[in-house]
Amino acid sequence: QTAESLSKLLEKIKKSIQEKFWDDEKGRFIASVNTDKEKIDYGFVAFNTEIITTGLATDYQAKRIMEWISGEKVIEGDD
């Protein structure tokens, strides 16, 4: 591997995470997707803030997460 090939791989992985684990309806990342492609969501604040701080979230996703964390966006069924 080279620095360039690893950078390309990182971008591919980052994009995959942004797409596969993002729940646009709830505005946050989910914990898992099972073998039936059902989203498993526990509403982990720490998980979502870590995704922001590591740079994995897009600006749009980070904004939506912070709207949820701040209470600006309420998700029905969350306790």
Cβ 28 vs Cβ 34: under 8 Å: no
CA distance 42 to 45: 9
Rounded to 10°, the helix 59-70/45-53 angle is: 150
More confident residue, 74 or 13: 13
Residue 56's pLDDT is 95
Give the pTM: 0.84
Residue whose tokens read 């505005």: 27
Tens-digit pLDDT profile for residues 14-33 = 999 999 999 999 999 998 88
Q: Would the pLDDT of 79 be above 80? A: no
